[in-house]
Structure 1
Amino acid sequence: MSSTSHRVFRFAPSPNGHLHLGHALSALLNVEAAERLGGTAFLRVENIDEARCTANLEQDLYEDLEWIGYPLVAPILRQSERFEAYRSALVRLEEMGLVYRAYLTRAEIKRAVGEAEARGIVWPRDPDGAPLYPRDTAVLTDEEIRRRRDKDAPYALRLDMAGAVARAGADLSWQEAGSEGTALEDAPERIMAEPAQWGDVILARKDTPTSYHLSVVVDDAEQGITDVLRGTDLYAATSVHRLLQRLLDLPEPIYRHHRLILGEDGRKLSKSARDTSLRMLRAEGVCVSDIRRLVGLG
């Protein structure tokens, strides 16, 4: 990718809670990278979960971002308005024969893996530590699978990873340009992708037309994203994203993965854990320069 082409970054939070310092770091790094390269930083609202992502939280998100200086460049992409685009991508993968229904519940998966490990089997796990999905036929009888299919029981639509990797080819890789300490103008290096380590990832569910993995690559293409700058917790997931980009003939961005902001207990900050939010800090009199200092940007 030419350094003279218009560069497009994005920050993509979910309005299912209030933004914290980890979000502030990512947002500020994206907008500053775009400014340095003469590009644009878009906002994407990842509100697929319409039960948890409320209108009030979305409005709070906009206010928090304006406060720290992240531009709300129109149009703001909202995932809840793009379900048809995700369905279209899913249909393409289904037409390739790479999608199947998976009926096992979380409890059944946990029990099957636990029983296997009790027998001394080392069960493969993904980079996040979750056990890889055992095919339904390894746990359920053919009769039970037919019964669940006939009654339209809850299911996940999973990617046939082995088939997808074979179709994508052995040369799958991504462009990694390093963390925020790396000069933005430096040429990226090629990292070999290893999507198989994630197993048969979920692409959608019976009542949800997409998953993070599917929507993120479809939306990056829609917004013309040239540079993805995000936390290191998503580094390994880049393999899955490159696989889906290859299968769906989507453009390949340059990736950068920045450090995470950790709590006193060493874990990354989380909305679900109710870590101190930007709104709380602002209410306590903290200013934007303090936020920059707290996230290590001086």
Structure 2
Amino acid sequence: MTSPFAVPTEARASAGAYVGRFAPTPSGYLHFGSLVAALASYLDARAVGGRWLVRMEDLDPPREMPGAQAAILQTLEAYGLTWDGEVARQSERHAVYRQAVEWLLDNRLAYPCTCSRKDLATYPGAYPGFCRDAGHPLQDAAIRLRVPDREYGFVDRVQGRYVQHLGMDVGDFVIRRRDGLFAYQLAVVLDDAWQGITDVVRGADLLDSTPRQLYLQELLGLPQPRYLHLPLLIQPDGHKLGKRYRSPPLQPQEAGPLLLRALRALGQRPDPALAGERPPAILEWAGRHWNAERIPCTLTLAEAQLR
């Protein structure tokens, strides 16, 4: 049972060169937490002469804010974070996601699920598998992936060893929603393989998603990138910096000071002489001095301490 998406072993071995990416969701403007993630992925690539790509994860049109995609790209440019090649968009990849879902269904690796949120409200934690062997029709159903009763783990470059038991901790998870929209877990593994991503640098809120992605990579015959999960910046009320919690959008005129602040959040030690410098000078220095081993080995950081 060979997946039509499988990448030959010899092709993986010959890839070699670093390819990183920044993949924002256009449900709002970039904020300081976004900048920390973008800067880390950018510097991790540029420090070794690698490529840095931008991909819009626009899988959920109802959540997308009009004009956000253009604003995100303009902000990256204003902060000196220039990308290689064309911007990829998940909204243009639906045919690939559909083909993957069909292959997983045909090979009995996935199944239709009609459970509603109300049905599952009294079952916190792993999905209890109500529809696993029910044989529901595909119409008006989500599609769940069958997970094995085993652990999946990896060594994160910052957070260290991370292990999750898919059966007990997660359960069968959704790869296509009931409304027909494709799930992040499926799209991200297909897109990372398609773009040749060798290194994923992102926030620690996605750490527990990684074992699910490792399993999908295994099923689909896709290469496994290296992973680096950054600590999340936490506001005084305990919420992470994000679009939902009043995090102010990045302003072009604040690019220099905020880049220096982001470097400090990443455990780097920017030269005091960079104060007042523009983004090109700051990024040039940061690329020469980038050291991922200095990133704090913690899942969260207090944002107020970085001011």
Query: TM-score when scaled to structure 1?
Result: 0.76
Give the match for residue 4 of structure 2. none
CA contact (8 A) 1:16 1:54 kept: yes
Match of residue 94, structure 2, among 83, 91, 96: 83
Secondary structure of the corresponding residue to residue 245 of structure 2: coil
Give the match for residue 10 of structure 1. 21
Give the match for residue 156 of structure 1. 142
* 1:195 correspondence with 2:166: yes
Match of residue 287, structure 1, among 252, 255, 260: 255
Identify if the C-alpha distance between structure 1 residues 193 and 49 changes in structure 2 by more than 3 Å, giving closer, same or farther. same
Identify if the C-alpha distance between structure 1 residues 191 and 137 changes in structure 2 by more than 3 Å, giving closer, same or farther. closer
* 1:268 correspondence with 2:245: no
Secondary structure of the corresponding residue to residue 287 of structure 1: helix
Q: Which runs of 5+ in 1 are unaligned?
A: 114-122, 127-131, 180-188
Q: Which moved more, 1:40-49 or 1:67-76?
A: 67-76
Shift of 1:190: 6.4
CA distance in structure 2 between the aligned counterparts of 1:278 and 1:253, rounded to whole angstroms: 30
CA distance in structure 1 between the aligned counterparts of 2:132 and 2:193, rounded to whole angstroms: 36
Shift of 1:54: 4.4
CA distance in structure 2 between the aligned counterparts of 1:199 and 1:93, rounded to whole angstroms: 17
Secondary structure of the corresponding residue to residue 51 of structure 1: helix
Q: Which runs of 5+ in 2 are unaligned?
A: 1-11, 271-307
* 1:222 correspondence with 2:191: no
What are the residue-to-residue correspondences of 1:183-262 with 2, within 5 Å? 191-196=162-167, 197-262=169-234
Match of residue 130, structure 2, among 132, 135, 140: 135
- What's the C-alpha RMSD, in Å, of the aligned pairs? 2.8
Give the match for residue 285 of structure 2. none
Give the match for residue 27 of structure 1. 38
- Displaced runs of 4+ in structure 1, greater than 6 A? none
CA distance in structure 2 between the aligned counterparts of 1:194 and 1:108, rounded to whole angstroms: 23
Give the match for residue 80 of structure 2. 69
What are the residue-to-residue correspondences of 1:31-42 with 2, within 5 Å? 31-42=42-53
Shift of 1:272: 2.2
CA contact (8 A) 1:7 1:37 kept: yes
CA distance in structure 1 between the aligned counterparts of 2:55 and 2:75, rounded to whole angstroms: 14
Q: How many residues align?
A: 254
* 1:174 correspondence with 2:166: no
What is the identity percentage for the equivalent residue pairs of Structure 1 and Structure 2? 31
CA distance in structure 2 between the aligned counterparts of 1:252 and 1:223, rounded to whole angstroms: 13
Query: TM-score when scaled to structure 2?
Result: 0.74
Secondary structure of the corresponding residue to residue 265 of structure 2: coil
Give the match for residue 129 of structure 1. none
CA contact (8 A) 1:67 1:288 kept: no
Shift of 1:235: 1.1
CA contact (8 A) 1:21 1:291 kept: no
